[in-house]
Structure 1
Amino acid sequence: MDLTIKKFEELSNQELYKIIEARINVFVVEQDCPYNECDNKDQHSFHLFYQDQKQIAAYLRIILPGISYKEASIGRVLVNREYRREGLGLEMMEQAISFIKNNLGTDSIRISAQEYILNFYRSLGFEVVSDRYLEDNIPHFEMLLKL
């Protein structure tokens, strides 16, 4: 599997469909959390994904500064159930951080992290910068990484 990084307009129809399918399968179906999937941020994002036999194995999006936060942001991070515990999440996050550092001219990254995975993001250098809050009825914290 190779890591692919594309702007929204570079995604094929099939790739976009598979990305949305993977996001709905993980966040809506698996986590039982209806949310606004089409939030008009995809068009202002880079999309990083591993694809295996036309299936998205892992995915995240890098949102440009000024869209979600004044800083660049990483969101919709997922690893398909069949590919978990293979290090794809860590590998993807490291690639995303490197991409932001080298291409977006920003000095920090802000994320909205689900509470259960805070230690994963801490291992990458992110620090909690907010109180606990509910997003789509799931506990979250804002986290910041200084580059």
Structure 2
Amino acid sequence: MASDGVITHRNVDVNGYTALHVVGDLVALVDSLGQKQVFVVAHDWGALIGWSLCLFRPDRVKALVALSVAFNPRNPAVKPVDAFRALYGDDYYVCRFQKSCIYSSLDKRIVQHAAQSPTDDPIKDAPSTITDNQRSIQK
């Protein structure tokens, strides 16, 4: 991420998405917002990253609310993916996501749709019931 908060590139290599890399991206995001610390609310996979942010950069976190994923101390002798594989097998979804070719069999339209980012107008992107209520509040 550039210093002006603009995303300058997207990493297509799965090795660029380790917990350390994602925590680094979060720190860059916090820096781009001009903040020293943040109050983090995270859910599911995001909760794992929230815990990692607290472990690797506690100086940047005021507090963490982690939903649906409790803290699980890491065993330095076992990689988390290997632990999932041993417990649930190779077909467990976390294990399947480790392969860089996992998306090659998906219909490109699904991947393109999932990767779209919203417009600059969050109201425009909202469902009409929310949009109508929000517009009446803004008036």
TM-score in same-fold range (> 0.5): no
Q: Which has the higher contact order (CA 8 A, sep 6+)?
A: 1
Q: Which has the larger radius of gyration?
A: 2
Decide which structure has greater helix share: 2
**TM-score normalized by structure 2?**
0.28
